[in-house]
Amino acid sequence: MSIAGRAASRDVVIVVLTWGITIFAAFAAVSWAIGLNTPPHTLDGIYFIFLTGWFWVLVVLTRRFAERNEPLLSAAPLFRRIAVAMFVVTMLLTGNTWQALQDLRGATPAYSAAMDDRYWSLAAAKGEQDAVIEPLPEQPKSFTRYFELREDPNYWENWSVAHYFGLNTVRCPASPTKVVEKLMNSKWHKAVFITV
């Protein structure tokens, strides 16, 4: 192998190692900082870095193998058509494709409108000390995880929203079932129950 070839190989190894270490460090930093699962937007950014590096490695390896006399893999037009057909079928029959299509017509528009309303009501509340907002409607079933505020204003998601909008606290009101549960478990309820 020539000196230029060795230098090129070394550069590829350095970039691949840097790419891998960056992805690992991103996951580790987020887990250490918040002590919870990685938030979806951060996860999207990490996946973007992963896919960018993956495509770069794929291009480099393809160029390396293209320099050989015989192709590494040859596909006839018939096999290409079969591969495309299999890809389309698997996209339609596996995963949550149908659920996502149903959500686009059903739950997603209402959920999106509620998110917009929440944003504008919090933006209008700027300068107030505390904000109580209504919970969102049922999330679309194709969503794997979604951001939702809680009753505890000190929860990190609530604190982040309050900080973003310049508010003291943001919280959802206690749901009626939780109010009844707290009442049933309170000393006052037990005292009333015993005396009656």
| DSSP assignment of the chain | --HHHHHHHHHHHHHHHHHHHHHHHHHHHHHHHHSSSPPHHHHHHHHHHHHHHHHHHHHHHHHHHHTSSS-S----HHHHHHHHHHHHHHHHHSTTHHHHHHHHHTHHHHHHHHHHHHHHHHHHTTT-SEEE-PPP-PPPTT-S------S-TTSHHHHHHHHHHT-SEEEPPPPHHHHHHHHHHSHHHHHHHHH-
One-letter amino acid of 13:
V
Tell me, yes or no, whether 52 lies in a domain.
yes
Q: Are residues 63 and 119 in the same domain?
A: no
Last-in-domain residue among 55, 75, 95: 75
pLDDT at site 1: 54
Last-in-domain residue among 30, 48, 75: 75
pLDDT at site 35: 75
pTM, full prediction:
0.47
Pick out the chain residues at pLDDT < 50.
179-180, 182-184, 188-196
Tell me, yes or no, whether 86 lies in a domain.
no
Task: State the average pLDDT for the chain.
Answer: 76
Q: Are residues 130 and 67 in the same domain?
A: no
pLDDT at site 193: 40
pLDDT at site 3: 63
How many residues are listed for the chain in this entry? 196
pLDDT at site 196: 39
Domain that holds residue 49: 3-75
